[in-house]
Amino acid sequence: MRDVAVVGAGMIDFGELFEQSFDDMAEQAYLNALDDVDKGIESSDIDAAWFGTLDIAENASSGLGLSHPTGLFEMPVTRVENACATGSTAFRSAVEAVRAGSADVALVLGAEKMRDSAGGLIEGASLEQVWRGRGVTMPAFFGLRATRHMEEYGTTREQVAEVSVKNHENGSKYPHAHYRFTCSVDDVVDSPQVTYPLNLYDCCPVTDGAAATVIVSEDVVDEYTDDPVWVAGSGLATDTFERGKDESLAGFPATRQAAEQAYDEADITADDIDVAEVHDCFTITELVTYEDLGFCEKGEGGAFVEGGTLQAPDGDLPFNTDGGGLCNNHPGNRGGMTKIIEAVRQLRGEANDPVQVPDCEVAIAHGTGGSIGTRMGSCTLVLGADR
C-alpha cells in the first residue's frame, strides 16, 4: 500500500450563489485546485475522480455531474453520497484507490446547490421529511439531543453557546465565509429560537458552494509539489439508535468508531493533534464531537469549550479555524471538502494569518452525516505535514 498526499486544494466563496449554476461552481473549484498545485498539473494527468454531492438534480445525479464542468470524460468517475459526511467519504474512497495502485493522480470534488435546486430544497427543509415523511426537521432532532446532553451531563445553555462564539470569531476573519460577524454568549442565547434549546446562532446557514482536492501517490508526488500534505489515517463507520444502545442518544457512536480506525492507522492518539476541523451543523454537534473524537471524556464537552481554549490561533487545541459550518458554509458535503482544505492549509502554514496555528504538524478533518442519536455515518481523516 502506497502513501498518499494532497498536492492541490481549491474552493470558491460560499453563500447564496443564485447567479452561479452548479456547473459554474464545480468548474471554478476544480480550476482553483489545479492552480494550487505548485509545480503545475494538466487535466490529462488525472487518472480517476470522485464526486461528492447530495444534489438530486439531473446535472448531479451521476458522475457526469463532475465530468461536464471539468471536461474529465473517458475516465472512472464515482459519485458518492453519505449525508453530511459525503465530502470526507469521497476523499477517503479516492485515497484508498490511490493507495491500492488503481490510480496515481485523483481528483475529489464536492459541490452543492442548496438555495435554488430540488436537492437544496429537500435538504433545507429536512432530510427526515424525505426519509420518514413525519415532518420532523433537522434542528428539532439536534435540539432533542441537546436537551438530553444537558439533562444527562449538566451541560449548560451558555456552554453550548460558546461553540458559536468561537466559530464566529474564526469565521469573521475568513475570506470565503458566508457569515463574517462576531457574537457573544448573550447574543447566541438571546437570538431568535429555532427549536429549543437551539437558537438562530446555534444553527448553520444553508449555502451553495464547491471545493476540490488533488491527491497523488508517493510514486509521483515529487512531480507536483515539494510541500505535500500526507494522509496518515482514515476511518469510516455507521450506527443507529435502533440498535438499542443508550449511549447513542447523546452522542455519535459512529464518530467514536471512525476515529478509532483513523487514529490506529495513523499510529496517534487525540493528544497528538494540533488542529481539528469537525462537523458543526449545530453547536451541540461540535460539542458532542469533542467527546466522541476522544478530546475529552463523555459529558465534559461543555467545560472543554469554555475559556477560549479551542480558539484559533493560540488556544490549546484550535477547532474549526475557518469558522466551521456555523458561519463559513454548510452545503450537503459540508462534513468533508472544506474541512480537508482548511486542514491542508493549516499544515502548509498557508491558512488565513489571524487563525494560522503555530507549528501545526498533525490535523484532523471529520464529517458526520445524519443526526445525533438517530442514524449516522461518520468519516475521520488524519493529515500530517510529514509521513
For 344-379, what is each residue's pLDDT tens digit? 999 999 999 999 999 999 999 999 887 766 678 899
Average pLDDT over residues 77-104: 95
| Confidence (pLDDT) at 16 | 85
Reported as a single tens digit per residue, the pLDDT across 14-56 is 888 889 999 999 999 999 999 999 999 999 999 999 999 987 7
Confidence of residue 77 (pLDDT cuts 50, 70, 90): very high
| Confidence (pLDDT) at 334 | 59
Decide: 231 and 95 in contact? Cβ < 8 Å: yes
Question: Does residue 298 carry a pLDDT above 70?
Answer: yes
Confidence of residue 1 (pLDDT cuts 50, 70, 90): confident
Q: What is the CATH number of domain 4-120+206-223?
A: 3.40.47.10
Spacing of C-alpha 58 from chain mean position? 25
Q: Whole-model pTM?
A: 0.93
The one catalytic residue in 84, 204, 281, 327 is 84
| Confidence (pLDDT) at 55 | 76
| Confidence (pLDDT) at 14 | 86
> Can you tell me whether residue 369 is helix, strand or coil?
strand
Active site residue 168: no
> Whole-number mean pLDDT of the chain?
89
Nearest alpha carbon to residue 108 among 130, 92, 128: 92
Q: What is the DSSP letter of 357?
A: P
Backbone φ, ψ for residue 51 (5° rounding) = -125, 115
38-52, 132-146, 213-227, 316-330: least confidently modelled range: 132-146
Confidence of residue 273 (pLDDT cuts 50, 70, 90): very high
Distance CA 83, CA 313 (A): 30
Average pLDDT over residues 287-294: 95
Confidence of residue 118 (pLDDT cuts 50, 70, 90): very low
Q: Which residue has the higher pLDDT, 370 or 285?
A: 285
Question: Does residue 291 carry a pLDDT above 80?
Answer: yes
Average pLDDT over residues 51-66: 81
Average pLDDT over residues 282-287: 95
The secondary element (H helix, E strand) that includes residue 195 is: strand 193-195
Question: Does residue 123 carry a pLDDT above 50?
Answer: no
| Confidence (pLDDT) at 333 | 63
Nearest alpha carbon to residue 159 among 101, 202, 211: 202
The one catalytic residue in 296, 330, 360, 379 is 330
Active site residue 281: no
- Grid cell at residue 115: 438555495
Average pLDDT over residues 309-322: 95
Reported as a single tens digit per residue, the pLDDT across 163-211 is 999 999 999 998 878 888 999 999 999 999 999 999 999 999 888 899 9
Strands 375-384 and 275-278: unpaired
- For residue 107, count CB atoms less than 10 angstroms from its CB and return exposed for 0-12, middle for 13-18, buried for 19 or more: buried
